[in-house]
Chains A and B, each alone.
Chain A
Amino acid sequence: MSTLRFFLRVLLSFSVLIVLATATWAHGAEIRIADSKGDWGYPNPWKHYPRGPGYVRMSWVFETLVWKDENGIVPALARSWYYDRDRRAFVFEMVAGAKWHDGKPVTPEDVAFTVEYFKKHPYGWVVLDYVERAEPTGPNQVTFFLKRPYAPFMEDVGGTMPILPKHIWEKVPDPKAYGEPAAFVGCGPFVFKDFDVAKGTYLYVAFPEYYLGRPKVERLIYVRALDPLAALLSGQAHLANIEPEMRPLLESRGMTVIADRAGWVKKLMINHRMFPLNDRRFREALAYAISQEEIIEKAHRGRGRAASYGLLSVDHDDYNPNTPRYPHDPSRSRQILESMGFELGKDGFYYKDGEALRLELLVSPITVAGQPAADRDGEVIRDQLESVGIRVDLRNMEQTTTDAKVRNWDFQLAISGHGGIMGDPKILNEMISEEYAAGSVNSARFQDNKELLKLLETQMLEMDPAKRRAMVYRIQEIFAEELPSICLYYPETLAAYDPKKGIRWFYTKGGISKGIPIAQNKLSLIR
């Protein structure tokens, strides 16, 4: 009896302590964001992982000249800017009073230094090949002189390049090896305090002297949570990316659910360097055989939208509504195959010179906005292709293995996906041309159409938006005609947050920086 009493006492004390502890933590001055992976590297340009969540973690600490909100580009460290066509230069008027986290003022010299430093120690997110130099041209003015006109400048450099404190980095010869606390001194709204590698957690605290005003919360914390639904419902997190199926339950529990525009596309990668995939007609037959709507219906219970075959998002300002389409038409697909000399065998599959038409399709759980997502796309596509007579061997692999095979052209078909299709049309160059993205597994690396390559080159130099748009329209048409990869659909990208915390989260138009489809825009915690 006394033992039982002892255990009851222990249990009671334990419960009281838990209640007390929970009560202590339940203050409203912090925001917790859930992330399934947790570990995205340290938040500075050389130490964060090169995917979107890594950049976002850095964006709380470091500032750019301009930023984006839900409507497009807005001022950040630069309060105004213009392009000087005669001097081929972008001129930025900087805000006064911005400070680094160590109290020193942010100056145009820091911006000029950042350009020089990134030229010496390249940062993958920012391409400075077109920038000749940047120099201070006034007490609060900095001018970027370009070697050639560069149309994506505002997004690619202005809205992506983190400005570095000169007084710290000028003494650092190897930024990759530099891990002192000063490596995380920025002028952003939050000061980086800790990254726990083992737990996958991050802690940032508000920077009271932030030039746009003190942030709305004192502490910003990332927690690792495999299941965003559980994390949100249990109150362990206040914001998380969610699966579409979670929406009704979360809304019924008072959570606010927000949806992004079509900023992420699932694609069928094609090895167009090997027979029969190197024949445009065959790729066209594939497009007619695949039903985008059926994939969305069967693999995603209707949650998604059919993609444009021209790569750029249908929600993009420069989307070409006349991009060629391939409505599901199995008989047309068969006609094309037969016109290429394939003969239908008794088993219902095509043969050529006695050899079966057989393709291997690689599938893997692809990471979307930092969350690995498994689906049944591969099975649906296999069934669709087999129904027209193309035998398909489906191979499920881990993502890095699939990536390596695609990277080395050791594949026939593979399912892949990427964001950035709502950002600057430069994404077309990166996802089409080998010159821009030889190392990318999402890029078609297609060099066979000279007109396409020429247009890709010239659209980068065209500073007149109307003229550039005409080129971008034509690029989409050619891409959809050539089909070096087939765009399938845009999955629903959703996030849920607890409105009781008083923060309104939103998806950024065009995605954060170069098109990151994550609803963690720092302006949510400032304005």
Chain B
Amino acid sequence: MGRKAKTLGNVVNFLVAFSLLVYLSYALPRLMPGDFVTAMFASSHVTLSAQQEAEAKAYFQREEGFGLYLLRIVRFDWGWSYALFQPVLSLILQALPWTLVLAGGAHVLASVCGFVMGVEAAWRRGSRVDRALVGAMTMLEGVQEMAVGVALVAIFALHLHWFPTGGAETPYAEVSLEARLVDMAHHLVLPMATLVISYLPGNFLLARNSMVMVLGKEFILTARAKGLPEKRVRYAHAARNALLPVLTRFGLRLAFMVTGVVVVETMFSYPGLGTLLFNAIRSRDLPLVQGVVLFSSAVVLVVNVALEFVYTRVDPRTRHAP
């Protein structure tokens, strides 16, 4: 198959997958039991008469059909939130930076640290350091992020008072930009540490196993026989070839960062797309739910496409894969 045909095939696959995701983002939220008016008014202090209820439903729950929805999506008109009276896209963009900082930062940190630690442990396979790291990481792998978060809050926030218990920054603090940035970093430490501690063991164990496999290959023996420095053999020859599975894991995890951090966002009252989606589902805010679902689906798709590209850079052999 020619290169052009392959590229065209990829584009077609991408478009088909995107269309399917758009349809799912439209159809799935509609399968949820309950509706916005029931969620907002049913157990509130406002007791709606039958007529008021019908009027509210007519105002908020105008059904447009998939065709119109699709048309709006491609025109970047993602609708308005029922509950917040704001454009869905603007709400997503307000929450996105926080998710990128927390979830994205934690993924990068956990992946880099996990990979380097995994490479170093595999290189020292069987040593005391390796055994201790494998033992500790295997144990940590079994601890839920909720438990990690609770422990960190109890020790570092409530007992030692080193860090705040929640939030992304001190709300409405009248301080300079530098102090605000420091404050944000201060608030970020515990939620990010929770995520890093949760993600690190998996990355470490995967990188170590991958590295152990690579270290047994003949080209490593050749590199050593050529008298190359140890660091070069370890990273340029071995680690580079052990990187692919770690990269795949990074991509998959990153793709699910929207929904994957709901627990930590909720626990630390940290803003982000997870919290936005959680609240939108609770109030059956259909336009917002479908907006966030579509956005996160698009992230999954884009990350997968990006991974295809990165694979070919990291391991040129994948270019020739059928």
Contact = CB atoms under 8 A, between A and B. Distances in A.
B179 A55 contact: no
Determine which residue in B43, B179, B183, B275 has the highest number of CB atoms from chain A within 10 A of its CB, and name it. Answer: B43
Contact of B182 (A17, A42, A513): A17
Given A42-B85, A199-B168, A437 B39 contact: no
Given A50-B45, A198-B271, A199-B171, A400 B178 contact: no
B173 A24 contact: yes
A309 B168 CA distance: 46
Given A17-B179, A439-B42, A41 B84 contact: yes
Contacts of A51: 40, 43-45
Contact of A21 (B35, B39, B59, B183): B183
A203 B49 contact: no
Interface in B152-185: 153, 157-158, 161, 164-175, 178-179, 182-183, 185
Contact of A14 (B40, B53, B165, B182): B182
A347 B45 CA distance: 44
A50 B171 contact: no
Interface residues of A, number: 76
Contacts of B171: 32, 196, 199, 201, 203, 221, 223
Contacts of A513: 45
Contacts of B41: 50, 124, 439-440
Interface string A176-219: 11010000000000000010111111010000000000000001
Contact of A177 (B35, B85, B98, B266): B85
A316 interface: no
Interface in A332-383: 366-367
A50 B36 CA distance: 12
Interface stretch (A64-72, A82-90, A137-145, A227-235): A227-235
A198 B95 contact: yes
Nearest to A419: B45
A486 to B, nearest CB: 17
Contact of B38 (A32, A199, A404, A418): A404
A399 to B, nearest CB: 8
Nearest to A222: B171
Contacts of A524: none
A154 B178 CA distance: 52
Interface in A215-258: 219, 221, 223-227, 230-231, 233-234, 236
A203 B172 CA distance: 7
Interface residues of B, number: 63
Contacts of B166: 224-227, 230-231, 236
Contacts of B52: 122, 124, 439
B61 interface: no
B209 interface: no
B306 to A, nearest CB: 26
Of the candidates B94, B167, B284, the one having the most CB atoms from chain A within 10 angstroms of its own CB is: B167
Nearest to A230: B165
B107 to A, nearest CB: 20
Interface in B24-51: 32-35, 37-50
Contacts of A201: 171-172
B83 A17 contact: no
Contacts of A197: 84, 86, 91, 94-95, 276
Contacts of B170: 21, 25
Contact of B34 (A49, A224, A404): A404
A403 interface: yes
B35 A439 contact: no
A484 interface: no
A279 interface: no
A221 B169 CA distance: 13
Contacts of B266: 226
Most buried by A among B98, B157, B169: B157
A286 B149 CA distance: 43
A439 B49 contact: yes
A31 to B, nearest CB: 12
Nearest to B161: A234
A407 interface: yes
Contacts of A514: 45
22 contacts: A18-B182, A18-B183, A24-B175, A124-B44, A125-B45, A196-B271, A197-B276, A198-B275, A199-B167, A226-B268, A227-B165, A231-B166, A234-B157, A234-B164, A400-B282, A403-B42, A404-B34, A420-B45, A430-B47, A435-B49, A439-B48, A441-B43
3 nearest CB pairs, A to B: A404-B34, A124-B46, A439-B53
Interface of B: 32-35, 37-50, 52-53, 59, 83-86, 91, 94-95, 98, 153, 157-158, 161, 164-175, 178-179, 182-183, 185-186, 266-269, 271-272, 275-276, 279, 282-284
